[in-house]
Amino acid sequence: MPTLPDTELGLTLLAHARLALERHLRLTDEPFADDERLAQRAATFVTLKLYEELRGCIGSLRPQRALGEDVALNAVAAATRDTRFLPVAADELNAIRIEVSLLSEPQFLEFADEVDLLRQLRPGIDGLILSGSCRSATFLPQVWEQLPEPSEFVAALKRKAGLAPDHPLGTLLAATYTVCKWRE
């Protein structure tokens, strides 16, 4: 993953995500651009916003497929499979703004307790994955904008994973990652 956002790559990924949505909604049959950068394996999240409100967000935490395929599949999934929302309709697409996040490889954290974990987190920089007890959830670094306090961030992530906010962290694994992100 690039250490600084590559504007050209970002524009390509945003266009690729939008084209995937247009193709899914049968608004075009235009082919995807042939770009060798889209062939490398990568993990991405695609976030859709309608009038600045979240409209869908789905992604991959590990590089499982080519970047172009990952962005296209995640864009369509964000529009159709985010269970918090009804599928995106064709008449909404012009008002929807897309954000693509390219994730770094997750780094597992060693921590003694919740205080130790909270101390290691970098608000606004780190995305966080919590997993264990047959549950897993993540927040992208962008979520720090709504939850700037590390304790609130972790408690909300536990709730997202279906755990109580006071669930002991000693039973969970934690990993952080960073993102390069681009918005329309």
Confirm or reject CATH 3.40.50.10540 for domain 107-178, answering yes or no: no
Residues 6+ apart with CB under 8 A from 143: 127, 153, 156
pLDDT at 5: 61
Average pLDDT of 60-67?
A: 96
As annotated, the residues of the chain forming the CATH 3.30.1490.150 domain(s) are: 107-178
Distance between CA 175 and CA 7 in Å, rounded? Answer: 27
Distance between CA 55 and CA 78 in Å, rounded? Answer: 8
- In this prediction the pTM is 0.90
The 10 Å Cβ neighbour count of residue 82 is 18
Query: For domain 7-103, which CATH number applies: 3.40.50.150, 3.40.50.300, 2.60.40.2130, 3.30.700.20?
Result: 3.30.700.20
Residues 6+ apart with CB under 8 A from 60: 43, 44, 45, 70, 74, 103
As annotated, the residues of the chain forming the CATH 3.30.700.20 domain(s) are: 7-103
pLDDT at 1: 46
pLDDT per residue as tens digits for the range 85-126: 999 999 999 999 999 999 999 999 999 999 999 999 999 999
Average pLDDT of 44-59?
A: 97
Amino acid at 125: I
Residues 6+ apart with CB under 8 A from 77: 46, 58
Average pLDDT of 72-94?
A: 97
pLDDT per residue as tens digits for the range 148-158: 999 999 999 99
Sign of CA dihedral 49, 50, 55, 58: negative
User: What is residue 68's DSSP assignment?
Assistant: H
